[in-house]
Chain A
Amino acid sequence: MNWEKMVTKLLNTVIGIFYIFLWTPLIIVIVFSFSTHKYGSKWEGFTTKWYGKLIANEAVQDALIRSLIIAVITMIAATIIGTITAYGLYKFQFKGKPFLRTSILLPLVFPSVITGAALLVFFTRILHIPLGYPSIIIAHIVFCSPLAVFIILGRMQRMDWTLEEASMDLGATRFKTFKRVTLPVLLPGIMASAMLIFPWSFDDFVITYFVAGVGSTTLPIYVYSQLRFGTSPILNTIATLFVVVTIIGFFASHFFQKLDIRK
């Protein structure tokens, strides 16, 4: 009994350290974004002036708008593709299905450097797609749709499918049933997935960096370009913005999931 208690205590300590390790850097950056200190690496006094400077900074404005446009388009496209693919994978049995499932996993687990480099060569040497919005959006759809597939597949496994069967028994075609019955029932799950895709695209750096070309600075690329100058108050405010976007996305996703359960 005593031995078990000791192990539990040890485990709890490890958990405590883990959470401190995970959160301290983020909390420090958020706190320092409100510090008056010139280099943003010390607490001196409370101020919100850096946020004013952030909004007034034209390079940041430009990068932020670009990142938002890309994330919105990616979110919509990846969610649509993810939904129909998940439905196809869940409902149908076809040749090469295990292969397709594993292949969809590739863009998710592959090192971003390989995906980025391969896409860069493909865009510039083969397809001659201009680097900038088109190349970034295609790349984002490539690594975001697989994520949508797996999130929505997870929802489908918990869904009540009798409604769909009823609709088809009553003579509606599968396509009509999908549009009129399945989709509305799945909608909260789909929205929940979209809310997770948005930060996933908004946050991406490595792949975007490869395919962005010159002049298409997204917000993460801007952050990277400023990194070599070390810690700065502006970077702290941008970092805070990123964490806030993720938390909002996550809460929105959670909200839609709750909606799903209530139905």
Chain B
Amino acid sequence: MTNLPNEPDQSDVVNTNNETNKIFPFEIPLFIGPMTIIIAVFVFAPLLIILGISFIKSGIYGDLIFTFTLDNYKAALGSKYGPVFYRSILMAAQTNIICILIGYPIAYNIARFGGKWKNMLLFLIIIPSWSSYLIRLYALKTLIGRKGLLNTFLINMDIISQPLEILYTQTAVMIGLIYAWLPFMVLPIYASIEGLDQSLLEASADLGSRPFKRFLRVTLPLTKGGLLAGSILCFIPTVGEWLVPQIFGGSKVMMAGSLVAQKFMGVGNMPQGASLAIMLATTLILILYLAIKFGGKDAMEKMI
């Protein structure tokens, strides 16, 4: 695989530019300074504060008592919150796999056989993915609710006699997750298939490989970047999901994000919430790091 031609690296472009144009030392901070400050002050500093709070005690009324303790982490890993945590990761993994299984064939077909409809088909995926997340979940709830259109339709068709109780089950949460994140899986995979060098497939066909084998040995490995990028965009937000379990699970199905939200809202228990948030963040940063390491730059560039 290493012999295959890659797209020109972005750093090459920058290097050639640097040779012709002089850069003064003060120019760089001028351009990247504001963003660096935003990231440092409003992304890293708040995370560090949360990290600090996760090691202190909480009073009965949600006030902070500044004594060092590891109890929050013990509780987060213990039988009280641990299972929710593991289930979130499991549900996110399931969502991710289902999204790949549905998303890959869709992206593949649009990229290869879309023809003149390609832009239209893409447009029809991007619009919902860009529309308000909350509104989309509301719309889905309207559809699958007890008195929703799905139940009305199925009862009128005499397929069922009692309305299906889909809401407030784990299935409902899964449907919500897939509905919310599937577009974000399709788009990066589409980009990677679209960027595929056709001559490689032709070469493989000329050398006598069957379509299925060709897909497995050529197409799939070459679109790994898109798959990884889609998985990052899909898996990471899903683990920390709060709104989907809130709307589709009620109080019955909770995910890691629900716990964090619960502990930070109202009276709450900020140190406990902080320890859960830190565990969640650490897990996700680790996954992001591994994905970028194994997917390389390709995954990063396919992502946006």
Which A residues are closer than 8 A to B by beta carbons?
4, 8, 11-12, 14-15, 18-19, 21-26, 28-29, 32, 41-42, 81, 84-85, 87-94, 100-107, 109-115, 117-122, 125-126, 138-139, 141-142, 145, 147, 149-151, 153-154, 157, 161, 165, 168-169, 174-175, 196, 199-200, 202-203, 205-206, 210, 220, 223-224, 227, 230-231, 235, 238-239, 242-243, 246-247, 249-250
Would B126 and A250 count as touching, CB distance under 8 A? yes
Which residues of B are found within 8 Å of A154, using beta-carbon distances? 304
Q: In the complex, which of the residues B18, B125, B131 contacts A242, with contact meaning CB atoms closer than 8 Å?
A: B131
| Residue of B with least CB distance to A111 | B240
Min CB–CB distance B37 → chain A (angstroms): 10
The answer to whether residues A114 and B182 also contact, given A25-B139, A227-B247, A246-B130 and a CB cut-off of 8 A, is: no
Taken together as a complex, chains A and B put the C-alpha atoms of A224 and B141 apart, in Å, by 13
Q: CB of B166 within 8 A of chain A?
A: no
> Are A110 and B138 closer than 8 Å at their CB atoms?
no
With beta carbons under 8 angstroms apart, the residue of A22, A101, A145, A199 that contacts B130 is A199
- Report the Cα distance A92→B125, complex, angstroms: 35
CB <8 Å contact, B17 and A250: no
Task: Tell which of A25, A88, A113, A205 touches B132, judged by Cβ atoms closer than 8 Å.
Answer: A205
Chain B residues, CB < 8 A from A25? 136, 139-140, 142-143, 179
B134 and A224 contact, CB distance less than 8 A: yes
Q: CB within 8 A of A117: which of B28, B141, B277?
A: B277
Interchain nearest-CB distance for A97 vs B (Å): 9
**Is B20's CB under 8 angstroms from A165's CB?**
yes
Q: Does B27 contact A (CB under 8 A)?
A: yes
Cα of A122 to Cα of B44 in the assembled complex, Å: 11
A-B pairs, 6 with minimum CB distance: A111-B240, A88-B31, A25-B139, A203-B132, A150-B304, A118-B46
Q: Which of B145-153, B198-206, B218-226 forms contacts with chain A?
A: B145-153
By a CB distance below 8 angstroms, the chain A residues around B36 are 100
Is B280 in contact with A239, judged by CB distance below 8 angstroms?
no
Whether A239 touches B139, Cβ cut-off 8 Å, given contacts A87-B31, A94-B28, A246-B130, is: yes
Task: Tell me the number of A-to-B contacts counted with CB atoms below 8 Å.
Answer: 261
**For the complex, is B281 an interface residue (Cβ under 8 Å from A)?**
yes
Q: Specify which of B28, B42, B50, B242 is in contact with A138 (CB 8 Å cutoff).
A: B42
Interface residues of B (CB under 8 A from A): 10-11, 13-15, 17-18, 20-21, 23-24, 27-28, 30-32, 34-36, 38-39, 42-47, 49-50, 53, 102, 105-106, 108-110, 113, 123-128, 130-136, 138-143, 145, 147-149, 152, 179, 182-183, 211, 232-233, 236-237, 239-243, 247, 257, 260-261, 264, 270, 273-274, 277, 280-281, 284, 288, 292, 300, 303-304
Q: How far is the CB of B45 from chain A (nearest CB, A)?
A: 7
Closest-by-CB residue of A relative to B263 is A117
Instruction: Write out the residue numbers on chain B whose beta carbons fall within 8 Å of the beta carbon of A26.
Output: 128, 131, 136, 139
Q: Which residues of B contact A142 (CB under 8 A)?
A: 38, 42-43
Docked pose: A111 CA to B177 CA in angstroms = 13
> Once bound together, how far apart are the Cα atoms of A25 and B142, in whole Å?
7
Bound: A151/B303 CA distance, A:
11
Q: Give bound CA distance, A92 to B25, whole Å.
A: 10
Contacts of B15 in A (CB 8 A): 93
Chain B: which residue is nearest A246 at the CB level? B131
Indicate if the CB atoms of A100 and B32 lie closer than 8 Å. Answer: yes
Task: Name the B residues within 8 Å of A157 (CB-CB).
Answer: 10
What residue of chain A has the Cβ atom nearest to residue B179's Cβ? A21
Question: Are the CB atoms of A117 and B264 closer together than 8 Å?
Answer: yes
The CB with the most chain B CB atoms within 10 A, among A118, A150, A196, A239, is that of A118
Contact A220 B304 (CB under 8 A): no
Shortest CB distance B167–A (Å): 11
What are 12 contact pairs spanning A and B, CB under 8 A? A12-B109, A84-B30, A84-B35, A90-B13, A101-B300, A107-B43, A110-B284, A121-B264, A122-B46, A169-B20, A200-B130, A203-B131
